[in-house]
Amino acid sequence: MGVLSEVEICNSALVELGIDNAITSLTQNRKAARLFNKKYYKILKKVMAAHYWNFAMKRATLAQVSGTTDPLSEYDYVYQLPSDCLRVRKTQVDEDSFQVESGLLYSNESSCKIQYIFYQQDHSKYSDQFVELLAVKLASECAYALTGSVRLGIQLHNRYEQELRDARSSDAQEGTMPDMDNNEWLNSRINNVRNYRDVEV
């Protein structure tokens, strides 16, 4: 498919809606452009956070935040999540032993390393599957505003959900998601014993 820009992905969404009048920029004085300008980046983050895409995975060692632990909290330590973090995939400890709130990760571990989905803004890194899914999601969320059809919006939403399930299943079967370094995690575990119709569209 090659690298597609924001405008090209939005035009793919218009095609999904049966609209062949392409936009030329997100700042163009057209309803479709204004709508995409409002929604594109929010939906981009939503689709990115919905699946553990290989191109949007990072690892990090978190820094403790001092003086912010709620005395009523069941957790002993607070960590600052990276500013580009969309969703924590895993830590070196069990999922039920940490909690994510307002950009912070709470844990009972005295050190914390994570694997997470980050906000990947480089479109050249996006997979073809992700780009197609993003276009369908954009189309589903803009369907009523641009076509007046509730039915089309529902159909596109259902298609998005199915293709997202397919993406998850494909990764699970092929084992494409990278795991954390087992020795590194194990050593850490041992040492501490202790997640919106103008005229023109």
Q: pLDDT per residue over 111-143, tens digit each?
A: 999 999 999 999 999 999 999 999 999 999 999
Q: Which residues of 44-55 are buried (b: 16+ CB within 10 A; e: fewer)?
A: bbebbbbbbbee
Percent of the residues in the chain that have a pLDDT greater than 90, as a whole number: 65
Instruction: Please state, in angstroms and rounded to a whole number, the distance separating the CA atoms of residues 86 and 120.
Output: 10
The single-letter code of the amino acid at 110 is S
Confidence at residue 193, expressed as pLDDT on a 0 to 100 scale: 31
pTM of the model: 0.81
Residue among 121, 167, 161 nearest 141 (CA): 161
Query: Which whole number is the average pLDDT over 55-65?
Result: 95
Query: Which whole number is the average pLDDT over 34-48?
Result: 97
Confidence at residue 172, expressed as pLDDT on a 0 to 100 scale: 52
Confidence at residue 71, expressed as pLDDT on a 0 to 100 scale: 64
Domain ranges of the chain: 6-53+122-174, 56-119
